[in-house]
């Protein structure tokens, strides 16, 4: 009996190598791009989720800590912001912001925009206070006559 050895065709080997290399050159960049896009999308959605989470925390903190303004002869206290001397406050204005929710319902928020001496400013929500904006403006003018009120 004779031994027969069948060898692999060398042309087939080079053809397979060419197919493998072309497949690698085509699908490797595509897979890297898909992985990068999925990582970017996950990071983007994570950042949006964190921003939404912290906005919910801020909103719940505003609901838990009732806003208050305490007027005295030397200074004025804004809850969750701090105490400011009357000389530190340059001007103020009352601003209304209209926002729409997902059901297209309008809600109006009223803020007191306080301008400080060092060119900084902050907004303080006054729509949850016991007094309306006219009474609050009257109190500001009472404690600091000649106060600059912006319109």
pLDDT of residue 68: 82
Q: Say how far apart CA 10 and CA 85 lie, in whole Å.
A: 91
pLDDT value at residue 40:
92
DSSP per-residue string spanning 19-83: HHHHHHHHHHHHHHHHHHHHHHHHHHHHHHHHHHHHHHHHHHHHHHS---EEE-SSEEEETTTEE
Is 110:90 a contact under the CB 8 Å cutoff?
Answer: no
Sign, Cα dihedral of 56, 129, 72, 146: positive
Confidence at residue 41, expressed as pLDDT on a 0 to 100 scale: 92
User: How many other C-beta atoms are found inside a 10 Å radius of the C-beta of residue 89?
Assistant: 19
Q: According to the model, what pLDDT value does residue 22 have?
A: 80
**All structural domains of the chain with their residue ranges:** 1-64, 67-149
The pLDDT profile of the chain, 151 residues, written as one tens digit per residue, is 677 776 666 665 666 677 777 877 888 888 888 899 999 999 999 888 888 877 766 655 555 555 788 888 888 888 878 888 888 888 888 888 887 777 777 877 888 888 888 888 888 888 777 788 888 888 888 887 776 555 5
pLDDT for 39: 93
pTM across the whole model = 0.49
**Comparing C-alpha atoms, which of 110, 108, 89 is closest to residue 98?**
108
Q: What is the model's pLDDT at position 10?
A: 64
Give me the residues paired with residue 107 across strands: 99
Give pLDDT, residue 14. Answer: 67
């Amino acid at each position: 009996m004779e031994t027969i050895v069948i060898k692999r065709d060398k042309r087939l080997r080079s053809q397979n190598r060419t197919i493998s290399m072309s497949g690698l050159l085509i699908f490797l960049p595509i897979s890297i791009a898909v992985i990068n896009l999925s990582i970017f999308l996950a990071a983007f959605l994570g950042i949006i989720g964190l921003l939404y989470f912290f906005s919910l925390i801020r909103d719940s903190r505003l609901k838990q800590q009732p806003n208050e303004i305490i007027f005295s002869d030397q200074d004025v206290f804004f809850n969750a912001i701090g105490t400011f001397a009357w000389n530190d406050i340059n001007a103020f204005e009352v601003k209304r912001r209209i926002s729409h929710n997902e059901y297209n319902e309008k809600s109006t928020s009223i803020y007191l925009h306080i301008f400080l001496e060092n060119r900084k400013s902050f907004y303080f929500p006054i729509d949850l206070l016991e007094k309306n904006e006219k009474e609050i403006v009257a109190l500001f003018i009472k404690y600091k006559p000649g106060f600059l009120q912006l319109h």
